[in-house]
Amino acid sequence: MADTNSTNSKENAEVNPRRKTTKKRATAKKASPAAKKVTRKRAPAKKAVRKTTSTKTAQSKKSAPASKAQSVNEKIARNETAKRSVWEDVGALTEYIKDVSGYNQEILTDIVDKQAKKPAAVQDPSQDPLNVTDTMMGVYQSIFTNPQNLMRSQFKMWEDYARLADSMSKKVLGQETDPAVKPDVTDRRFSHPAWQENHALDFIKQSYLIMSQHARNMVEEAPDIDEHKRRKALFYTEQFLAAIAPTNFPTTNPEVIEEALKSKGENFLRGYKNLLEDMERGEGELEMKQADLDFFKVGKNIATTPGKVVYQNDLIQLIQYAPATAEVDERPLLIFPPWINKFYILDLQPENSLISWLTEQGKTVFVVSWVNPGKELAHKTFEDYMFEGIYAAVDAVEQATGVNGVDTIGYCIGGTLLSVALGHMAEKGDGRIKSATFFTAQMDFEEAGDLLLFVDDEQIKNIEKQIDAAGGIFEASSMSRTFNMLRPVDLIWSVYVDNYLLGKEAKRFDLLYWNSDATDMPKDVYLFYLREFYQHNRLTKNELVIDDIKIDLKKVKIPVFMQSGEKDHIAPFRSIYRSAQLYGGPVTFMLAGSGHIAGVINHPSKKKYHYRTNETLPDTIEGWMGVADKHDYSWWPYWQQWLNKVGTGKKVPARHPGDGALAPIEDAPGSYVLVKSD
């Protein structure tokens, strides 16, 4: 991001980040603590938006292959409309093969050229960045050096297969019998009736389930393995089992067989076209498309709540949203989303927008839109994100409203950063943040789930090599792959089946589009987060040092609201509960239905899911759950009551962007959110 600190304030003054000047920043312009005014330079639009689809060169690169692929689809569609298979139309088939072959050759040539231009470090990455080989070899050695345990496991598996053979024999003869094994009720892979009705498919399904369970058992029961290595081995075992599921193969997936018969094989032609498109977009790596990337337009049909960007610096744009009521609460509300994703998860569509809903409740809403950093910002640190993100936004909100006090929300890693800033402010005596709400945000990482498997020394070294090869930026695609591996069946293999075996068009699903629009991260920010929080859990131990200050959350006395999700695989609710106990003031913990996203974005009008409440905070989550009350539907109204309770209770005339000391820069959602990762 080029020079983004141009003036847009009605009064030209400088943000006071309230940090001491170190040698590293000795040349920085000093701010008067009394000034509390904001100086910004607005960068030209072409500088503010790096690598966006508005760039003519990038657009033209994509347009030729896309148009060829579209022509292929049109030919298939014309044949389907005429009730003729492309196989029956020799001319259409010949033209199709010609087009696809040309498309294929163009893509492969382009991939080879791009790979050849990359630095050697990028061309030859670690062959085993996740250290799978050493992990699994250690487990196998343990298993095979204990022949008695191995034989017991084998006998148990043979017994299960014998029960399967007996069950299937009875089923073939028309006798009533229970299956030897059943899939989990949440496993949607085997929902097609043929998995129960067809004897061969039923046998394949049950064989796979038996083998899967014994593979897990062997790892779980392997002696003399430390717990971290065992959990890693189980994680990699699940990746393997998800990959070899019979649903991933066209000859053993009844849905694929039905589609092939219905379309006379044209699903495979469409699937191959989808494969080529995904290879081309990933520049040689398979980048599976989860959503229709052309249908959604940020600021057009998603992220449409009206507002203005009123402040920006290198790392953030601050959006102030237009009021939806004649009066608003005196205290404004400031939201810090995670910087690994775009903020518009909170503003997808009008019918599920948290931001829009909050304005309807009489809130003056501000949201931080984090930059998608390029190599020019590779030097930024976690400390920079706190001062140029949290502190700068609080200063700017004060300028925009004239109110010395703000309620805050921190979502996921944005909440982790907010908690650190709260500890820093408590030590400095800065009391401008009056309350904090955390959406699925961890401070205690002792039980942080499967992401802990990626943070041992060997894997962090491999990550550091990848980042250095990429110019000091951790690429969003790497983070996306990691998150997808946490749910391989839903986020990898079901997409594989839909895209390539069924040949489906990408879904027009706003959440999946957002999920594909991730952001990059500076090296120091990401590695600091992995080492200090996940690996060493320093915040919990009062060992985290920021700006030469040890952060102690017990000194944070403001009211805190902690939201968690029952099915959250990124920030497990047990981890959130441990985090809730770190603060020194009143804490309300709430457990919502669903997971990391749907557990948060649950508009009351949808009447979905549920939530649990308990006004006390006992030592264990089991104690909390034992007396918690369960409520239907969205937790937002409950949280709104909490916000009202911790607020001032005063109403003021509605504030519009530009009413205060900050002049609008551009319309929401701003330009930073439009920046796409490579």
629-632 and 316-321 strand pairing: unpaired
Q: Do the domain assignments include residue 638?
A: yes
Residues in the chain, how many? 678
What whole-number distance in Å separates Cα of residue 242 and Cα of residue 383?
Answer: 40
Q: Do the domain assignments include residue 378?
A: yes
Mention every residue, 6+ apart, whose C-beta is less than 8 A from residue 40. Answer: 4, 5, 6, 7, 8, 9, 311, 312, 313, 665
Mark whether 221 is an active-site residue.
Answer: no
Q: Do the domain assignments include residue 46?
A: no
Whole-number Cα distances in Å, 297 to 47, 54, 71, 177, 510: 20, 12, 23, 53, 10
Question: Measured at the alpha carbon of residue 37, what is the angle toward residues 373 and 3, in degrees to the nearest 5?
Answer: 30
What whole-number distance in Å separates Cα of residue 647 and Cα of residue 331?
Answer: 7
What whole-number distance in Å separates Cα of residue 320 and Cα of residue 343?
Answer: 13
Phi, psi of 412 (to 5 degrees): 55, -125
Q: Do the domain assignments include residue 648?
A: yes
Q: Do the domain assignments include residue 28?
A: no
Which ranges constitute the DSSP H helices of 450-572? 457-469, 476-486, 488, 494-496, 510-515, 523-528
For residue 444, what pLDDT is reported?
97
CATH code: domain of residue 418: 3.40.50.1820
Q: Which two tokens stand for residue 465?
A: 């090599």
In total, how many domains does the chain have? 1
- 400 and 368 Cβ atoms separated by less than 8 Å: no
Choosing from 48, 394, 412, 421, the catalytic residue is: 412
Mention every residue, 6+ apart, whose C-beta is less than 8 A from residue 33. Answer: 16, 18
Taking the model in full, what pTM does it have? 0.81
> Which helix (H) or strand (E) covers residue 157, if one does?
helix 147-172
Q: Do the domain assignments include residue 431?
A: yes
Q: Mean pLDDT by 10-residue block, N- to C-terminus, for the chain (678 residues)?
A: 40 41 35 34 34 33 42 55 55 64 66 61 54 80 81 89 92 90 92 93 95 93 87 92 95 94 90 87 81 92 97 98 97 96 95 97 98 95 98 98 97 97 97 98 93 85 89 87 87 93 92 90 95 96 96 98 95 96 97 94 95 96 96 97 94 96 97 90
Phi, psi of 331 (to 5 degrees): -90, 125
Domain that holds residue 626: 305-445+552-674
Q: Do the domain assignments include residue 90?
A: no
Q: Which of 337, 307, 328 is nearest to 441 (CA)?
A: 337
For residue 76, what pLDDT is reported?
55
For the chain, helix (H) and strand (E) counts, in that order, are 24, 17
Whether residue 669 is preceded by a cis peptide bond, meaning omega within 30 degrees of 0, is yes
Q: Do the domain assignments include residue 70?
A: no
Q: Which of 601, 594, 427, 595 is nearest to 510 (CA)?
A: 601
For residue 458, what pLDDT is reported?
83
